[in-house]
Structure 1
Amino acid sequence: MKTPAPHLAPAAPGTPQAVPAAGARRPRFTRLRVLGGSRLQRACLLILLLFVAVALAAPWIAPHDPEFGSLGDTLLGPGPGHWLGTGQGGHDTLSALLVGARTSLVGPLAVVLFSTVAGIAVGLFTAWRGGWADALAGRVLDVVFAFPALLLAILAVALFGKGTTAPVLAMSLAYMPYTARLVRGLALQEKARPYVAAYRVQGHSALFVTVRAMLPNIAPTLLAQSAVNFGYALLDLAALSFLGLGVQPPTPDWGAMINQGQAAVLQGQPLSAIVPAVAVVVVVVAFNVVGENLGDQLAGRDSR
């Protein structure tokens, strides 16, 4: 039975034409049931979609300006004017939570995007070249593995100052080896398949074979790993903001809100600290559940 080749765009004039090769496979996106799977996965997806919608619409749906508070409204309990009460500076907790969703989600997204792109490049290059390039890249990745992401982020803040840019770049570097190792292992498996040898015989370049033929087949697994990485990056950046090294007040951020709400907990108004902490936990757990379920689907395990 003839097996169709991976999805390939028409070649440009003057370049070798892609001919279906024996052993070629379609990308494994058809194995993923992103909107299906277990009930838990569907619930987590709905939660994530809700948080994304809130982050996008936050400036329009927030009842108050979260960057300005009134000292006369300090540490108010939940009520009609402030449904989740107020914080230490009189800021509306609900508004800060809604607007803070944007800053709390954009940072991890940038970390995942940067680390994934760099990891794909390194992983595909080392798997294709092998030899000294693979050995050298492996040793460099081992060195980066030795430094936790949060530690690199703190070092970046010490060198370049507080904010989000330096920590995001530092954490992208810390997360890159995970993606690179995964891509390398998957690419080595794909490289041994007959369709790769067939494309090489046809005269296609290494860039064409790795990016246009091999990458689509490993992309679903990368999607699952990226979902898990997003949760970890969110947790690390929230911890950095909690330490006062990430997003700086008055810009709302969940980690910074937890830090600012510590005094409110001692004064009997814990919502300003508990609510953002719950938001962090819920989003991290949801991303991990989605990532694990996608991984189970790719491995052929039933996640119901």
Structure 2
Amino acid sequence: MTTNTRVSSWRLLMGNPVTVVSASILAVIVFVAVAANWVAPYGVNDVDVPNALRPPNGEHWFGTDELGRDVFSRVLVATQASMRVAVVSVLFAVVVGVAIGVVSGYRGGWVDAVFMRIVDVMFAFPVLLLALAVVAILGPGMTTTILAIGIVYTPIFARVARASTMSVRVEPFVSVSRSMGTGHLYILGRHILPNIAGPLIVQTSLSLAFAILSEAALSFLGLGIQPPQPSLGRMIFDSQGFVTLAWWMAVFPGAAIFVAVLAFNLLGDGLRDVLDPKQRTMIEARRQGMQQ
């Protein structure tokens, strides 16, 4: 990618106000994920029964739960846990899925057939059902949740990497490199991976959003992050019996999930507009038409 292309990409990305806002929100979420334990005004498990079910006020911004615990502090630390699960699980899926997809798309033949049939079998199961099966076998907990979500999203990256690799491997520069006797690892690292990075970056952003939802769903069912570690999904589950008495117990954890997922999705759309040549050409043509 040339310098002019990079500058143009940044202009397109920063010229989209929705993308800028979503990136700003994600920056705040990342800060929370890093500094939640220092920012939280109260301990996440500090019980104060006399102050139970207090509505939002100056002392407790998000109110308190049935045990008098500060909901704001618990949402911050739970967001940190959700982000940790999402990032690590998606990183696992990227590494394993891209490796499978690139090898499958580059080699073809029986290697491609074997790998893709395994991927097809995994795709046959609904995402949450497959994650539940993994957790049921290995037992609930944060490590198991990370592994389950990582396994579930590995086939997606394998498919994206394979499709992109198959389109790049027939390019003239790859053929020339092969004819010169260049090793396969060099071709993969120098020619294939840099040219398939765009779709993978977009898919990573979208998968982070769905990973947060998956973690919340598993925790809601009692199979994800276990107490006393707070979890957004578990907080929503615990609030079911207090919806009419303490709406804030469900609204604020749900809002945290909603904002994080929406921000990742909007950022993914913005990255797609910049990294997808077709989308980028359409946007640039539209802008030129508006200027004329």
Matched to 1:247, the amino acid is I
Distance 1:135 1:161 in 2: 32
Distance 2:261 2:174 in 1: 38
Which among 61, 76, 81 is matched to residue 59 of structure 2? 81
Q: How does 1:197-216 map to 2 (within 5 A)?
A: 197-216=175-194
| Superposition TM-score, scaled by structure 1 size | 0.86
Which among 199, 222, 230 is matched to residue 200 of structure 2? 222
Distance 1:257 1:174 in 2: 24
Structure 1 partner of 2:14: 36
Structure 2 partner of 1:157: 135
Of stretches 136-145 and 149-158 in structure 1, the one that deviates more from structure 2 is: 149-158
| Superposition TM-score, scaled by structure 2 size | 0.90
Of stretches 199-208 and 105-114 in structure 1, the one that deviates more from structure 2 is: 199-208
Which among 227, 244, 247 is matched to residue 270 of structure 1? 247
Structure 2, unpaired ranges of 5+: 288-292
Structure 2 partner of 1:189: 167
Structure 1 partner of 2:272: 295
Of stretches 74-83 and 91-100 in structure 1, the one that deviates more from structure 2 is: 74-83
Q: How does 1:113-262 map to 2 (within 5 A)?
A: 113-262=91-240
Q: Give the superposition deviation at 1:35.
A: 5.2
Deviation by residue 1:54-89 (Cα, 9 ceiling, x = unmatched): 121111111100122211121011222212110112
Distance 1:270 1:279 in 2: 15
Indicate the RMSD between aligned Cα atoms, in angstroms: 2.0
- Going from structure 1 to structure 2, the CA distance change for 1:95 and 1:285 (only over 3 Å counts) comes to same
Q: How does 1:65-76 map to 2 (within 5 A)?
A: 65-76=43-54
Which among 15, 34, 37 is matched to residue 56 of structure 1? 34
What's the % identity of the aligned pairs?
38
The structure with the greater share of residues assigned to helix is 2
Q: Does 1:286 align with 2:286?
A: no
Matched to 1:184, the amino acid is R
Distance 1:76 1:275 in 2: 14
Q: Does 1:92 align with 2:70?
A: yes
Deviation by residue 1:264-295 (Cα, 9 ceiling, x = unmatched): 2132x111210010110111111111112211
Matched to 1:156, the amino acid is V
Structure 2 partner of 1:15: none
Distance 1:106 1:95 in 2: 17
Structure 2 partner of 1:3: none
Contact kept? 2:131, 2:148, Cα under 8 Å: yes
3-state secondary structure, aligned to 2:41? coil
Q: Does 1:45 align with 2:23?
A: yes
Q: Give the superposition deviation at 1:260.
A: 1.4
Distance 1:157 1:180 in 2: 22
Matched to 2:32, the amino acid is V
Matched to 2:222, the amino acid is G
Matched to 2:216, the amino acid is A
